[in-house]
Every structure is written in C-alpha cells, then in structure tokens.
Amino acid sequence: MTQACKDPVIHNQWHPLTSLDEIAQGLVHDTVLLEQPLSYAMDDTGALHVWYRTPAQPAHTPYDPAKAGNALPARSKHGYLWTCVGKPPKDLFPVPELLEPDRQNVPTGVFGVNVSAGRTIENFLDMGHFPFVHTGILGEEPRTEVKEYDVEISESRDEILATRCQFYQPKAALASESGADVEYVYRVPHINCALLYKSSPGFEAEGRMDVIYMFLQPMTREWTRAHTGMCVIDLENSYQGIRCFQQVIFGQDKPILENQFPKQLPLDTRAETPIRADKSAIAYRRWLSRKGLTYGVIPAAV
Amino acid sequence: MKLYDYELSGNCYKIRLMLNFLGREYETRPVDFYPGREHKSPELMKLNPLGQLPILEDGDLVLRDAQAILTYLAHKYDPSGQWYPVSDPDRLGQVAQWLAFADGITATASSARLHDTLFYELDVEAARAGAHRLFRVLDEHLWFAEQEGQDWICSGDHPTIADLACFPYVILSEEGGVSRQDYPAIRRWCDRIKRLPGFVLMSGVFPTSQSAA
Amino acid sequence: MSVDPGRWYPIASSSDLPLRHVFHGQLWGREMAVWRADDGHVNVWENRCLHRGVRLSIGLNEGRELRCLYHGWRYANRTAGCTYIPAHPADAPARTICNNTYPAIEAHGLIWSALDPAEDFQEHTLLVGADVLALRPIPVNAPPSLVAAHARSYQFSPTGAGGADVSLIVETDGFLELRSTLGDMTTTLLLFIQPVDAGRSILRGVLTTRPDTPMPVLHHHNRAMSALRDRIEAEAATLDAPDPISVSFTPVDEELAQIPARARSGPKAELRVTVARKWALATDIAGFRFEAITGQLPTFQPGAHIDVHLPNGMSRQYSLTNAPGETDHYAIGVKREPESRGGSACLHETVQQGDVLAISAPRNNFPLRRDALNTILVAGGIGITPMLAMAQTLEAQSLPFELHCFAQSVAHLGFEEILGRLKDAVTTHLGLDPKATGKTLAEILKTRGEEEHLYICGPGPMLQATRAIADRKGWPDEAVHFEYFKNTNEIDDSSAFEVALARSALTLQVPAGRTILEVLHENGVEMPSSCEQGACGTCLATVIEGDPDHQDVYLSAGERAAGKSIITCVSRCKSKRLVLDI
C-alpha cells in the first residue's frame, strides 16, 4: 500500500500534526501525513509553518524560511498545529469547552498505532470492550451490558452524536470504592477526530463534563498518529496523573487495534457482524460511506 | 522500597513482575517519561546520570538498570534461591548468558517499538531484523527445552530472572511490527509465564486463560 | 506453486497445541487460529472474530470455548458458533453467528488442514500405522516454490555422521520423500512444504520410523534444516519479494449484517440425527443422546431447546442438558407423562437406540445472563434439564450460582453424574408437598441480593407459586426468568375478533377455532413461534389497542394487567378489535 493518496475526501481536510506543547521553537520537525513527508516549525515570533519536506532543511536544524520547501497552510486550533494537503475547508470543528476559562487542556501524548484511523475512531466510540480491555478501570465483569443509547447524524453540523450512553464503571466516584453507571456522550465532528464527554467528578450537579479527545493523523493507510488529550475542570489531579491514566488506557487499546483484520476499516455492511451496542460504529461507517471516503477504508462494493 | 516507574516501559515491567512474584510490598513513583521527559529532569538525573528508567530505591541503596535490579531483588528477597540460583554454578552461568541476550532484545525489539509508538528516529528495519534473529535463537532453544520437559529458559523446574528479563520486550514486540507467528515455542512460553502465580499485566500485554485443571 | 485450496497441508505440529493454548497458523495467506479443546478436539478457525475482525489467536482458550479478547464473545468448540455476547446479556445470540472454520485432521504428529478440500484427507501410505517422529518445523522467508527447489538437495544422515547418501524418491507439488543411507542404516524423511504466504513457507519433516533416542536426531535435522533455510533465504534475498496473497473475507449473512434477527419458526425439522444412546436416567425419565448423521450439529446456548419430531407425527420441545463445548451431540431428558398425548410415551416406548429422528436446530427462549452477581436456579422435576445446561455454563466460567432441585425422591431426580460434578452448588429438596415447597421457595427467595437473577423451570403450579413468591419478596419481573414445559390452561378459542396490524397496515379476521398466530402466518406475516401452546413466549406481540384475553402461562400478573403484550398462539381478544404493533 504505497501508492500516493488521491482521495479528495481525505485531502480536503485539516489534519493535526502536533500539539503546540511539543514544538521546540525555532527548530525544524519532521512528520508524515498521507504518505507525504512534511516538516513544520514555529518561528521566533511564534508563527507556525508547514511545508513539504526538503533535504535543505533537515529535522532538528534551525528553521530558515529561505530553505523551507513548498508551503502548506498552517493553523493553530485546540492546542494543536493543523495542516491540509488539498483544498482546506474554511472551518475546523469547534470544541466550546476548550474556551471555558476554568478548564485546562492537557495533551496526554501522541502515539503511533499500526492500524487505520477509522479502526481507531471506532474503538474510541466503543463501550462494550471496557470490561475486557480496560478491566478494573473503565469496566469489570460480570457488568458487561451496553444499555440502549441514541445515535444521530446531525445534518446541520455534519457530525455524529451518541447520547444517553452509560456503562458500569468500578470505583466510579471520587474517594469511593463502589462502582456505578457513568454517563458518556460521544461526538465525531471530523472523519478522524472524536471527543468523549464524561461526567466530571465533583461537577455532576452542574452537569458539566470532562472532555477526552483523540485527533488522528493518518500517516499511511495502516499507520496512524493518535494525538490524545483531556480537557478538565479545576485540576484535582496533576497533569501527570491525567497523562498516566490516558496512556494506560491507550496502551491497552493499542494491541487490540493492531490485531484487527483487515487493518483498514471495512465499510461494507456485511464485512462484520454488528450488534445493537455497535450503533455508533454503524453510524460512523455509514457516514464515511456517504462522504465517499476511500483512504484507509475498504469501501462497500457498489 | 520505591520504584521509579513508567507504565509503558518494558524495563520497568520486569521489576514490577519480579516484585509481584516475590510478593514484596513496594511504592511506585510514576515518572512522566513521555511527553514530560521527566527521566531527564535534574531530580532523576541525580539518581541515574544515564537518564533512564527504572530506578529502585531500597533503604539507602539506589540501583539503576533493570537486569541489575532483578539480580538484586532475587538475591535479596527470594529465600528459596530459585529466581537467581547463586548456589548452582551451571544455572547461574545460564542466567548470566540469557540476561545478556535480554539486553539484545531490548536493543532490537524495544527499539522497533519506540520507533513505531513514540516515533524515535532510528533504523527500524535493522531493529526488526535483529529482533527476528534473536527470536529464532530463543524459539529454537525453548522448543528443545520443551522436548526435554523443561518449561523455562534456564534448566531446572523453576523460572529465573532470565525469563523475566526476556519476557517484556518479547511480549510487546508486535507493537514494533515484529510478529511472533513464526515462533510457536516462544508463544507457548509466554502463556506459561502468564500463568505464574503473582503475574500482573501491563498496558499492551493480554491475559491468558487459566490452565486446565 | 500456485494457491491450491483443495489440498491438505500440515499447518502445525501436535505439540504446538498444549491444552488452553491458541496457535497462530497460516496457509496460502489465510491466517488460522488453531486450538485444542479440553476434550482433545482440534479446531482450525479463520483467525478473525466475526464481530470486529480481531485475531482469535490472541483470544483465550477456555477449554470448551474460545473467547475473543475484545468484547468477550464466546465461540463453541467444534461448531465455532457464538454462544454468548456479553454486551447483551439478556439475548441469545443468533445461532447463525458462526466463525469460518477449516477442516482439521490430527495425524502423524501433525495437524492437517485445507482451505477447501477437494477430497477427504488421505494418510500417506508410508505413515499409516507407523511410529513416526515429527521434526522441529523450520519457517523460511521464501516462496514455497523456491523452498521446494532447494529441499531436493537437503542433506541428512541416519546417524548424524557425514558421508551419507541421500536420494530423492518422490517429488510432488509441495512434498518430497527423501532417503538417506549410511552403511546399513537407512532413514526415510517425508518433507512437506507448507505454503504460508506468497513469500513465506514452513518446512515440516516427518521420519517414518521413530529412533530409539530421538533427541540427537531432532538436533541433527534442526541444524541441517536451519542451514538449508539460510541458503534458501540468501537466494530469496536476491529476488524480488512477491506481494502477499490478497485475502478476501467471506461476507457475513445478510441477516446478521442487519442487527435484529430472529428466524420465523414454528416447529422445524431441519436436522436429522441418530439416537446414539437411550438410557434410563431416573424413575420415568429416559435420557437420549443425539448425534449428527453427517457434519456438525448447530451451536446451542444454555437454556436452548430443540423440537423433536416423533415417528407418530407429533413434535415436542425438549431442553438440552449439554455443558458448554459439548458440541458433538445433543442430550435431552424425557419424563414419561402419565397423561401423555403420545409425545413422551412414544419416545419412551417406540424410539430406540440407532433410530433416526428429525429435530430442529436449537432455539433459545430462555437465555442465561452472565452478568449477574449471583444466579439462583430452581428446578422442579424434569424442569431440571435446562438448569443443568445453565449450571454447567456458570460453573465453567466460575460465576457464582446455586441450583435448587425439587424432586419426589432421589430415584426421581436423576442426572447424578452432572449434579455430582457441580457439588456444593447443588441443594436437593426431596419429597416436599406443595405447602412445604412453597415454604422452601420463600426461604430461597428471602431477599434479593444485588444484581441477583432467578431462573425457574418446572411444573406449571410450581412455576406460578415461585413467581408469586418472588413478586411478594420484591423481585422485579426482569430478574425472574422462567420456562414452562407446557400450558395446562384449558384454551377457550370460541371468540371471533378483528386484528389490525399497525405497522403492516393490514386488518385480518380471527374466527373461532383459529389462533391469531395461524391467521398471521396464513397471510404471510412473519412471526416467530415455538411451542404454540402459550408457554414459551416466542410469539409475543405488543398490543396498541384492545382488551387481550390472556390464556397463556408466560406473561406475569403485572404484564397481564398492563395489557400491553399478548401471546399470539393462544390468547385472544375480549373486545371486537385488537391492534398489534406488527
């Protein structure tokens, strides 16, 4: 799978490259997007630059605008640097919570995973695996039931929304050993980005929720960079505690994802066996089909 | 006893396994290895000037290097002397030999994993090829060990720290694109390790079923 | 060598399959999960859970079932059918959810399989009855044809000493017979080349006689074959590596791809089985063991029943007593009913060992949740049969449960062997009159524990009593699961009324003497059914309007009072018009 990507659906998207926290100002960084080697830098003024990689500007050397290759659009949003290798859409999806003054956006790291972005999003939307993959943390046998929830594809905002999701979580409450059902809301506002809202311990009464997000950078059809982060209210935990938690969770999902076959997401309804619990995944696959996405997926036979 | 620990590190996992097999209480001090690079912070560099994990503090003793810590823990806290068989020169020699082999696994399979997962810049094809060369040796060794009725890397009917030193980066190898499909004896040995009383998982390591009654 | 789906190849050694392990194999690009069940049966399955494509070779071999790591789906030994989906503990999985399997034969220290065998497995003539030695297999990163070309020059010696004379006796596609002679010593080696993928192979050797001291011989061949591998790989490195064989996956059934699925039924007779054994289980209870005439019996789950079609034209439902993974037969227990209309009497008197019977595939109207923190199983008399399947399932998964068996006497109880294995979980209550039974039940159901579930099967009056007691003790309906053997109510089918189907926009007339279900079926409306006597609940429909005349034993008092559901095979309507959500 090395042929260059020609899919306009994936080309004409903003893609995340790095969290702003991880850019060493003034130096060149290398990355890969859709099989294309790219470089990026933050100059001395704080402005962001992205260009097709060139031997004249190797990684870790000081950024020199005169030597940089063909420029690509660069945009700073949600604490990340985004670029586009096609025709960039005017807007990138909003995350209003990131703008609330009493919240902190904690990037929890970027991780490589040897699977397509679509499989990774689908795993992010899935609750049924909690007791088996995140045993003792997000779920625990025998409490394995995925209760009915609602999924809609919002036409006005072109995003998938799963609401009324709940799942039994051991040690759900702060300072409590007992488990309880925890509520989740899932949002997929971009083909490779998903957010999950989860009741924020101590803020349940106000109905405010923590936000956990995953922005994916498809390096190839089957190798993905997952930018992960969490947006929390009034930090009880240290950054480190949050990072550690998210990394444990992602570390548990990763080998499952890497053992999925095929690695690209099959969009044909008869490729796999869905159950009611997979409603959000089914909606996601349909939504991708409707958009005509071909990169990183196995399109349904027409 | 305090372990400076990073959950996703196979070298730290070796120590967690050992402490659990020995049933020792210990405290962990989580280190923000990534993205915080805390192992390079002045506080940690003072404990280990190489800037690596794990680090173990036991009383006044500060030790670095997973294999060194395994040796220390097994010798000090395993009264049966099985995990580190100092009184049996043959087995002791085998343990030392396979500890060195484990360093080779770290240099290859672990490097490939760091490349694929945390984007370390290195020659990943060379790292993978090196891991496969070592896995061939280990699989052959374990296959013949099984034929002789032996379950573990070194002779005798009890596992040693050599098993613990080799296990983590073998079981995590697929995260670096190193498949174990061609090493069925290694796959069976991994199941046996997972069935040892006191075994604990880490992120990236799957459980296995209970052995048949 | 080109892909030959019809041919049998060795894909693993017997020693690759210790109990509770899953071997990761591959043939012509297709990955395989290979595992041995505790009963010794070797399963060769496509290495992909049908749910989300996760490799089953990382799954858990639990002895009777293989469990996928991702969502805990369980697949049965032999049938590869899904027996449990933890995300929906109250549902029985559609029995057609079944992994793709490949044939498996264990012979000569090897496991053999084929993608789509053209003929039955044939033992190699030199191996029949021989005491053979399987060598350590050697994976080679080279195309099978290149491996075959080099394998001709494989050098080995009967003693390990040099100077042996090796001759090629037979060579066919992917197979060589080589003979090595040194002095008066001769060794014959059969060398099979397993095509793993376009650029990967495995050399699998078998010696036709087992040497007295195998270890040096194994080492000798391992060294020689590793050297051969190094030569082959050195040459392969100079050639272009072929692309891996592209593997297409069989699509799942259309029915499964669309979430809901429950086949329309009524008694079915899709299988033919032989009565492999008939025996006296207890006073008035006969045990039957059915085995498939050809192929594999479909997957069952605990609580499932089959329709048995009798030589006298009648059909009856019986619960399977099988433990999980006991997939090579179906076992039932049949009580001889004193007022038998010919069903149980026919099985007791007419049906004999060796007879062929028609049965349905198992259906499950009595699914067992496995997310309860404790499960209480209550069995009255022959109602023990589904409870045995449930108890053995809970036992195999180490889930907490208690099994209460009510019977006239030990002689009437039966099933000593299974009950003996379940040991401490079993309490027997013998010879109690209805009053004492009620008292005991009240004791068992005293207070409902957290997430505790109750399953009852037994005679109608006992079921009614248990449900009433559970209700009094505050057990919610959704925690009380039951199965009637039959509906003992006298059915009054004298009313005539109109049935409107809201979703189908259809209005039908139900005359006296006919049931709603019959009228639905006659008009081509799909409605699943099973017992067709108001006991099993399969044909339940939702009532939108009208006053149901309940004649079933399935609905609880609360459900009857609510008037929102109706069992269409027996119940009718008191008002002129009934509107159903169909």
Q: Which residues of A touch C (CB under 8 A)?
A: 122, 127-129, 131-133, 141-146, 255-256, 259-262, 266, 268-277, 282
Which residue reads 């899709």 in tokens?
Answer: C270
Query: H or E stretch including C463?
Result: helix C460-472
Residue A175 has pLDDT above 60, yes or no: no
The CATH 2.40.30.10 domain(s) of chain C lie at 271-359
Contact A165, A174 (CB under 8 A): no
Question: Would you call A256 and C97 a contact, using CB atoms and an 8 Å cutoff?
Answer: no
Percentage of the residues of chain A whose pLDDT score is greater than 70: 95
| DSSP reduced 3-state for B117 | helix
- Give CATH superfamily name and number for C497-580: Beta-grasp domain (3.10.20.30)
From C439, C502, C498, select the one nearest C465 (Cα to Cα): C439
Residue of C nearest to A134 (CA): C70
Which residue reads 């099979």 in tokens?
Answer: C192
Taking the CB of residue B93, how many other CB atoms lie within 10 A of it? 12
Residues of C in contact with A277 (CB under 8 A): 87-88
Residues of A in contact with B8 (CB under 8 A): 247, 251
Residues of A in contact with C97 (CB under 8 A): 273
Instruction: Return d(Cα C499, Cα C566) in angstroms, integer.
Output: 12
Instruction: Look at residue B158 in the predicted model and tell me its pLDDT.
Output: 97
Query: H or E stretch including B20?
Result: helix B10-22
Residue C319 has pLDDT above 90, yes or no: yes
Q: What is the mean pLDDT of residues C86-90?
A: 91
**Which chains would you list as touching A if contact means 3+ CB atom pairs under 8 Å?**
B, C
Question: Would you call B7 and A59 a contact, using CB atoms and an 8 Å cutoff?
Answer: no
Distances (CA, A) of A203 to A106, A206, A234, A235, C425: 18, 5, 10, 12, 45
- Give CATH superfamily name and number for C123-242: START domain (3.30.530.20)
Residues C508-529 pLDDT 10s: 999 998 999 989 888 888 787 7
Cα maximum dimension of chain C: 100
Residue C91 has pLDDT above 60, yes or no: yes
Rg (CA), chain C: 30
Distances (CA, A) of C512 to C491, C525, C550: 12, 20, 15
B188 closest CB neighbour out of C18, C26, C38: C18
Q: Which residue has the higher pLDDT, A1 or A282?
A: A282
**Which chains would you list as touching C if contact means 3+ CB atom pairs under 8 Å?**
A, B
> Given the DSSP bridges, would you call strands B2-5 and B27-30 parallel, antiparallel or unpaired?
parallel
Residue ranges of chain B with per-residue pLDDT less than 50? none
**Which chains would you list as touching B if contact means 3+ CB atom pairs under 8 Å?**
A, C
Question: Would you call C218 and B147 a contact, using CB atoms and an 8 Å cutoff?
Answer: yes
Q: Which of A132-136, C320-324, C541-545 has the lowest mean pLDDT?
A: C541-545
SS3 content of chain C, % helix, strand, coil (to 5): 20, 30, 50
Instruction: Return d(Cα C67, Cα C49) in angstroms, integer.
Output: 9
Instruction: Return d(Cα A120, Cα A51) in angstroms, integer.
Output: 27
Residue of B nearest to A252 (CA): B203
CA atoms within 13 A on the CB side of A290: 12
Q: What is the mean pLDDT of residues C41-59?
A: 96
Q: Running DSSP on this structure, what letter comes out for residue C88? A: S
From B3, B6, B42, select the one nearest B118 (Cα to Cα): B6
The segment with the largest mean pLDDT, out of A9-18, A96-105, C476-485, C486-495, is A9-18
Q: Does C65 lie at the interface with B, CB-CB under 8 angstroms?
A: no
| DSSP reduced 3-state for A101 | coil
- CATH architecture, domain C271-359: Beta Barrel (2.40)
Cα maximum dimension of chain A: 62
Instruction: Return d(Cα C238, Cα C235) in angstroms, integer.
Output: 5
Taking the CB of residue A83, how many other CB atoms lie within 10 A of it? 24
From C113, C138, C122, C276, select the one nearest C200 (Cα to Cα): C138
**Chains A and B: how many Cβ contacts under 8 Å?**
62
**What is the strand order of the sheet C497-501 is part of?**
C506-510, C497-501, C577-580, C540-545, C565-567
Q: What is the mean pLDDT of residues A136-157?
A: 91
Taking the CB of residue C286, how many other CB atoms lie within 10 A of it? 20
Q: What is the mean pLDDT of residues C58-80?
A: 95
Distances (CA, A) of A18 to A23, A47, A61, A226, B196: 7, 14, 18, 10, 41
Residues of C in contact with A274 (CB under 8 A): 51, 257, 259
- The pLDDT-based confidence of C256 (bands split at 50, 70, 90) is low
Residues 84-113 of C with CB under 8 A from A: 85-90, 97
Q: What is the mean pLDDT of residues C106-118?
A: 95
Residue of A nearest to B112 (CA): A112
| DSSP reduced 3-state for A231 | strand
Encoding tokens for residue C257? 């791809």
The CATH 2.102.10.10 domain(s) of chain C lie at 1-121
CATH code 3.30.450.40 for B89-194: no
**C320 Cβ contact partners less than 8 Å away, ≥ 6 residues apart:** C300, C304, C305, C306, C330, C331, C332, C362, C385, C386, C389
B198 Rama class: left (phi>0) / alpha (psi -120 to 50) / beta: left
Instruction: Return d(Cα C12, Cα C268) in angstroms, integer.
Output: 40
Residue C267 has pLDDT above 60, yes or no: no
- The pLDDT-based confidence of A199 (bands split at 50, 70, 90) is confident
Instruction: Look at residue C469 in the predicted model and tell me its pLDDT.
Output: 94
Distances (CA, A) of C416 to A100, B36, C423, C579: 68, 63, 10, 50
Residues C205-228 pLDDT 10s: 999 999 999 999 999 999 999 999
Instruction: Look at residue A191 in the predicted model and tell me its pLDDT.
Output: 96
Contact B154, B98 (CB under 8 A): yes
Residue A236 has pLDDT above 80, yes or no: no
How high is the ipTM of this complex?
Answer: 0.95
Angle, vertex CA C361, rays to CA C360 and CA C366, nearest 5:
105
- Fold type of domain C374-484: Rossmann fold (3.40.50)
Residue positions counted in chain C = 582
User: Class of C1-121 per CATH?
Assistant: mainly beta
B181 closest CB neighbour out of C26, C62, C226: C26
A114 closest CB neighbour out of B118, B177, B206: B177
Residue of A nearest to C243 (CA): A1
Encoding tokens for residue B87? 């009184």
Query: Residue C487 carries which side chain, given as an amino acid letter?
Result: N
Residue of C nearest to A167 (CA): C87
CATH of region B2-77 = 3.40.30.10
Q: Running DSSP on this structure, what letter comes out for residue A97? A: G
Angle, vertex CA C22, rays to CA C20 and CA C25, nearest 5:
155
Residues of B in contact with C219 (CB under 8 A): 144
Instruction: Look at residue A237 in the predicted model and tell me its pLDDT.
Output: 64
Domains of chain A as residue ranges with CATH? 8-83 (2.102.10.10), 96-298 (3.90.380.10)
Encoding tokens for residue A25? 């100002």
Residue of B nearest to A108 (CA): B35
From C59, C62, C55, C50, select the one nearest C19 (Cα to Cα): C62
**Chains B and C: how many Cβ contacts under 8 Å?**
50
- Domain spans of chain B? 2-77, 89-194
C72 closest CB neighbour out of A144, A275, A282: A144
Residues of B in contact with A255 (CB under 8 A): 174-175, 204-206
Residues of B in contact with C222 (CB under 8 A): 140, 144
Instruction: Return d(Cα C389, Cα C92) in angstroms, integer.
Output: 14
Instruction: Look at residue C71 in the predicted model and tell me its pLDDT.
Output: 97
Residues A94-130 pLDDT 10s: 999 988 888 889 899 999 999 999 999 999 999 999 9
Contact C500, C582 (CB under 8 A): no
Q: Which of C156-160, C246-250, C323-327, C400-404 has the lowest mean pLDDT?
A: C246-250
